[in-house]
Amino acid sequence: MAGGAVVSATGGKDYPGKLTMFVFLTCIVAATGGLIFGYDIGISGGVTSMDPFLKKFFPSVYRKEKEDTSTNQYCKFDSQLLTTFTSSLYLAALIASFFASTVTRLFGRKWSMFGGGLVFLVGAALNGAAENVAMLIFGRILLGIGVGFANQSVPVYLSEMAPARLRGMLNMCFQLMITIGILCANLINYGSDKIKAGWGWRLSLALAAVPAAIITLGSLFLPDTPNSLIDRGYDEAALQMLRRIRGTDDINEEYNDLVVASEESKKIQHPWANILKRKYRPQLTMAIAIPFFQQLTGINVIEFYAPVLFKTIGFGNNSSLLSAVIIGLVNVLCTLVSIFTVDKLGRRKLFLQGGTQMFICQVIVGTLIAFKFGTSGEGDMPKTYAAFVVVFICIYVAGFAWSWGPLGWLVPSEIFPLEIRSAGQAINVSVNMLFTFAIAQAFLSMLCHLKFGLFYFFAGWVVIMTIFIAFLLPETKNVPIEEMVVVWKRHWFWGKFIADEDIHVSGKAVEISNGKPKGAGV
Ligand code: BGC
C-alpha cells in the first residue's frame, strides 16, 4: 500500500489527497439546497404583511389589523391564524425529514436532494398561482417537504464528500446558501411590495421556483458519496469516486476505513432502535441539543420579525425593510468569516466566541429598549438611539453567523457513525424545525408579556448553551468522519459511554490502552 494515513495533531488521521476542482464544484452545487430554505425564511414574513395578500386570503386578519389602535409598543396585533399558516412549513419539514432519512440511506444522498427540490418546485408554482387558502396551504406543505428532504441530505452529503481537513469549510457553504437565500428574498420583497397592482406577493412566492430549479437540476449532475456507494454495495464505483474526489490514487487507507464503517453499518437493521443504544448517547445528545440551542439563540425572532421589530422600535415602514436588508448582508458576510476559519480555529473556539458576543449584544439591546419603553411599552425612540439598537443587533447577527448558524448544521452532520447517520440527521432537522415553529408561534405573545426581557430571556439561553459547549462538545476539526468515535471515546465525560469493543477503526493509527485511545486527553 502506498502512502497511507498519518495521525494528525488532533488525533484523527490525515489521508492523502487535495481539494480537487471536482469536489469543490460538487459541493457548491449540493450546497444550493440551502437556497430554498433561506428563501422561504426570508420571503414569508414580508408576504404575510402585504395588504393585497391579506385582503385576498385572510380578510378577517386584515380587518383586525387595521382596527388595532394599541399604542403599547410591545403588544401589537397578533394573529395566531397567520403565524400558524407561516409555520405550517416547519411542521411539514419536521415530518418529511424522517422519510428523507430512509431515502437518503437506501437510495443515496443525491435522490433526496432531487426529490426535495422537485417537491419544492411544485409547491412554489402552487403558491404563486394560488386562488384560495387551500392552494396556499397545500403549496406550503409541499415547500416544507422539500426543505425537510434538502436539509436532511445536503449537510450529510457535504460532510462525506469533503476531505477531513476542509470539511468545515465545504459544509458551511450550505449555511452560506441559506443566508444568500434570505438576503435575495428580503430584496425581492422590498421590490415586489412596491407593485401597485397588488400582485407583488405572487411574484415573491413564485420566484421560489428559481432556487428550487437550481437544486433540482443541479442534483442530477451530482455523483453520490463514496460512503453511500459502499454502503449500498457499489464498491468499485466508490473506489473510483474516491480517487476522483481526492485527486490521487493513494486512497487505500481511506477506502479501507470506509469499508470498515460500512461493515459496521450492515450489522444494523434498524437505525431508529439502534440510535437509542448507550454507545450513541453522546451523538444523540448533540443531535437534539445543538438544533434546540441554535433556535434558542433567538435568531429567528430577528429573521422573521426584523421589519416588525424595527417598526416597533420607531423605524418607518421603508427604513425597517431596509434594516432587514442590512442584517441580511451582515449575515452573509460574517458566514464567510466562519468558512475561512473553521478548519483552522476549530468548532469550539467559534462557538465560544460567537456565544459571548451574542450574549453581550442581547443584554445591551434589551437594556436600550428598556430605557426607552420601560415596562409600559409607551414611548418614542429618537433616530440616533434606534440606530444604536440596529448596530448591536448587527453585531449579534455577526456572532450568530460565524458560530451557531453554520455550526448548527456542520457539527450534527459530522459526528454520527455511518450506520445511524441518516437517522441522526433527521433528528437534527426535526428538532430544528420544531423549535423554529415554536418560537415563531410564541414570539409576539412573549414580547407582549416579557417586554424588553425577551432579549434577556434569549441571553440566558446563550449562557447555558455556551457552558454546554465548553464542557461537553469535543473538538472535531480535521478528524475523518468515519473515525469520529475516537473523539468521543477520548472525552472526559462521553468516554464512559463507549466500550473498547465499540471502537472499530481500521489501521494502526489509533491504539487503545487502558480503555482509551493513546494520547487521550480532555
Ligand atoms: C437556522 C435558521 C436561521 C438561519 C439564519 C440557520 O442556520 O437554522 O433557523 O433562520 O440560520 O441565518
CB of 355 within 6 A of ligand 1: the answer is: no
Backbone angles phi, psi at 288, to 5 degrees: -95, -45
Rounded to the nearest angstrom, the gap between the alpha carbon of residue 170 and the centroid of all alpha carbons in its chain is 14
Going by DSSP bridges, is the β-strand pair 13-14/512-513 parallel, antiparallel, or unpaired?
A: unpaired
450, 457 contact by CB (below 8 A): yes
Question: Is residue 254 within 8 Å of residue 227, measured between CB atoms?
Answer: no
Q: Give the 3-state secondary structure of residue 6.
A: strand
Ordered DSSP codes for 301-340: HHHHHHHHHHHHTT--HHHHHHHHHHHHHHHHHHHHHHHH
Please give the distance, rounded to the nearest whole angstrom, from the Cα atom of residue 521 to the centre of ligand 1.
33
**b vs e for 350-367, b when ≥16 Cβ sit within 10 Å of the residue's Cβ?**
bbbebbebbbbbbbbbbe
Q: What is the pLDDT of residue 515?
A: 40
The alpha carbon of residue 395 and the mean position of all alpha carbons in its chain are separated, in whole angstroms, by: 20
Residue 277, classed as helix, strand or coil, is: coil
Identity (one letter) of the amino acid at 521?
G
Provide the pLDDT for residue 283: 96
**For position 516, what pLDDT does the model report?**
42
In angstroms, what is the span from residue 389 Cα to ligand 1's centroid? 21
The predicted structure's pLDDT at residue 46? 81
Is the distance from the beta carbon of residue 144 to the nearest atom of ligand 1 less than 6 Å?
no
Please tell me if the CB atom of residue 297 comes closer than 6 angstroms to any atom of ligand 1: no
Dist CA 76 CA 5 (whole Å):
60
* Size of the chain in residues: 522
User: Residue for cell digits 437518503?
Assistant: 104
Tell me how far apart the 2 most distant CA atoms of the chain are, in Å: 77
Write down the pLDDT at residue 383: 78
Q: What pLDDT is attached to residue 266?
A: 81
pLDDT at site 316: 66
Cell numbers linked to 247: 485527486
Would you say the CB of residue 147 lies under 6 angstroms from ligand 1?
no
Place of cell 441530505: 153
Residue of minimum CA distance from atom 7 in ligand 1: 405
Residue type at position 94: L
Please state the pTM of the whole predicted model.
Answer: 0.91
Nearest-angstrom CA–CA distance, 254 and 14: 9
Query: Can you tell me the distance from the alpha carbon of 41 to that of 186, in angstroms, rounded to the nearest whole number?
Result: 9
| pLDDT, averaged in runs of 10, over the chain (522 residues) | 41 75 94 96 85 91 81 73 85 95 92 97 97 93 96 94 93 97 92 90 96 96 94 92 91 90 82 89 97 96 74 67 86 98 97 98 94 81 83 96 97 92 92 93 84 94 98 96 92 94 57 41 32
Decide if 121 contacts 113 (C-beta within 8 A): no
Distance CA(491)–CA(496), nearest Å, equals 8
Q: Whose CA is nearest to atom 12 of ligand 1?
A: 179
- Distance between Cα 197 and ligand 1 center (Å): 33
Q: Which of 226, 238, 246, 220 is nearest to 29 (CA)?
A: 220
Q: Is the dihedral of CA 7, 12, 14, 15 positive or negative?
A: positive
pLDDT at 496: 95
Q: Is the CB of residue 48 below 6 angstroms from any atom belonging to ligand 1?
A: no
Is the distance from CB of 399 to CB of 352 less than 8 angstroms? Answer: no
- Rounded to the nearest whole angstrom, what is the distance from the C-alpha of residue 451 to the centroid of ligand 1? 24
Q: How far apart are CA 273 and CA 296, in angstroms?
A: 28
Distance (angstroms) between ligand 1 centre and the Cα of 359 equals 18
Is there an atom of ligand 1 within 6 Å of 41 CB? yes
C-beta neighbour count of 22 within 10 angstroms: 15
* Residue 308 Cβ contacting ligand 1 at under 6 Å: no
Residue 442: CA atoms inside 13 Å, Cβ hemisphere, count?
13
Burial 173-206 (b: 16+ CB within 10 A, else e): bbbbbbbbbbbbbbbbbbebbeeeeeebbbebbb
Provide the CA 338 distance to its chain's centre, in angstroms: 14
